[in-house]
Structure 1
Amino acid sequence: MDLNPIMLKAGAEIMRVYAGDIAVTTKGDASPVTEADERAERIILENLKSIVPGIPVVAEEEAAAGRLPEIGNRFFLVDPLDGTKEFISKNGEFTVNIALIEDGVPVYGAVFAPALDRLFWGGGTQAFAADVKDGEIVNVMPIRVRATPEAGLSAIGSRSHGGEATQDYLKAFSVAEFVAAGSSLKFCRLAEGAADIYPRMGRTMEWDTAAGDAILRAAGGRVETLDGQPLLYGKRVQDDAPFANPHFVAFGDPAIRA
């Protein structure tokens, strides 16, 4: 499955909005949304329907509008603009996320950071990173998590949603540095061996994490809940909102947890 053409189309539309003045509105959950979110999601939904008809798509803005499809054991999760706060502040750390879920597991994912001209994708046991130049994918390289560094771990966390609970969790590990980053790029940094551990003790939705999770798993990493179970997807019925995640931790080298 090649989702990269869709990623590039959505990213190009986002960058058209990014180049001007960004109008921001607030959704019912108090989170921000922009015209870029809506335009990119429309492009993604139209293209997925054309390329892979019949597979349900759970998309962030559709979900915010109360339009949730019936899903089976195979469906897509879409976040057309992950890191809207990063987009609004124009720091470049926002992404387009698409993931394919099968039986609760993210089996394929693609993440595109259009302002950084960086694209990641992966599934199974293969993950890749590439640059994007003039709308073309160049410098494709396989990526893999790195072994646990002897000098201490590089921890990565949210730029907009950090907290004391994250720092408390990291006290159990030998951490040499903590780096803040936005959006699903945190998963990608682990997947390419640039960081080692990413704890998330705040609220996330499945469309925030699934694509990066798929890439990290394909690169040899692991994402799990705080009780050590793999993070699963398709949590339609639960006490929290549909498709909400519990707290989780992403590891580059799975041996870190031991």
Structure 2
Amino acid sequence: MLKTVCHLAREAGNAITKVYDKEIPLNLQHKKNHSIVTAADIAAHKIIAAGLRALTPEIPILSEEAPLSWEARKTWKQYWLVDPLDGTKEFIQRNGEFTVNIALIDQGQPILGVIYAPILSIMYCATKKEAWKEYQGHHTKIHVQELHPPIIVVSRSHIDSELTRYLHTIGEHKIIAMGSSLKFCMIAEGKAQIYPRHGSTNIWDTGAGHAIAVAAGAAVHDWQGKELDYTPKKSYLNQGFCVSVIPKENLLKVV
């Protein structure tokens, strides 16, 4: 199943690249919630949704580009969670830091995750206990790494007062700014140790990265110390969270 999902992510990435390379018009629009959608988002969604339906017709799909009502979702025990193009701002700014995200959720927890960065030609994937990176034909098992001082990876688009306060109180550290769910992957492959996020995110922004980070040995928890939960809720939002290889008791002391 993981191999097939990776293939779907790569196909979706190829469709995104055609828009990125201007072979297909961007067709930028604004949704009702003021977020941006492009032809790349829609093309990737259609490829992934069709592929997942063929692979597992019994498992429902929740995609950013096809949100479903609470009534339709409230009894789900297992479902696919998809962000066809995570990092639309990075896509428009043409910095390459955007991804295709696919996760399988079971009993509220992500048990499979795939993140593909088409412009960077990097694939990250995970089952419940192991995570891998594929780059330039090499398929490598990845795991977290502790460093002192820690490297903190932060969002390019969401640096706010809470994050600034957190960084001032955490002690000696280094910072890397990164777009999209690649921040989870930086933790998973040992290139960073902490990813703090104080603002809310949608569940499709975090599901695949959560699976990969945890499989590589990291923890993904909210600022009260509870692991993020993807059990269907009326809202699609996660509250703030932290991905880290440092014991959460040490991190929560400075919140």
Is TM (by shorter chain) over 0.5?
Answer: yes
Structure 2 residue corresponding to 1:96, chosen from 93, 100, 109: 100
Contact 2:70 2:233 in 1 (8 A): no
Q: How does 1:22-61 map to 2 (within 5 A)?
A: 22-61=26-65
Structure 1 residue corresponding to 2:129, chosen from 102, 117, 125: 125
Distance across 2 between alignment mates of 1:227 and 1:153: 21
| 1:234, distance to aligned residue in structure 2 (A) | 2.8
| 1:201, distance to aligned residue in structure 2 (A) | 1.2
Q: Structure 1: which 5+ residue stretches go unaligned?
A: 133-137
* Structure 1 residues 50 and 68: CA distance shift in structure 2, 3 A: farther
| 1:214, distance to aligned residue in structure 2 (A) | 0.3
Which residue in the other structure is 1:135 paired with? Answer: none
Query: SS in structure 1 opposite 2:51?
Result: helix
Aligned length in residues: 245
Structure 1 residue corresponding to 2:197, chosen from 174, 177, 200: 200
| 1:162, distance to aligned residue in structure 2 (A) | 1.7
Instruction: Point out the more displaced range, 90-99 or 155-164.
Output: 155-164
Query: SS in structure 1 opposite 2:242?
Result: strand
Which residue in the other structure is 1:144 paired with? Answer: 143
| 1:125, distance to aligned residue in structure 2 (A) | 1.7
Distance across 2 between alignment mates of 1:165 and 1:77: 28
Instruction: Name the TM-score, length of structure 1 as normaliser.
Output: 0.90
Deviation track 1:4-42 (CA, whole Å, cap 9, x = no partner) reads 110111000000011015331111111111000001000
Distance across 1 between alignment mates of 2:140 and 2:59: 29
Structure 2 residue corresponding to 1:77, chosen from 74, 81, 93: 81
Question: Percent identity among equivalent residues?
Answer: 38
Instruction: Name the TM-score, length of structure 2 as normaliser.
Output: 0.91
Contact 1:22 1:88 in 2 (8 A): no
Deviation track 1:120-168 (CA, whole Å, cap 9, x = no partner) reads 0012220000115xxxxx2000000002x23x11111111122121121
Structure 1 residue corresponding to 2:242, chosen from 249, 252, 257: 249
Instruction: Point out the more displaced range, 184-193 or 24-33.
Output: 24-33
| 1:7 matches 2:9 | yes
| 1:52, distance to aligned residue in structure 2 (A) | 1.0
| 1:97, distance to aligned residue in structure 2 (A) | 0.2
Contact 2:194 2:246 in 1 (8 A): no
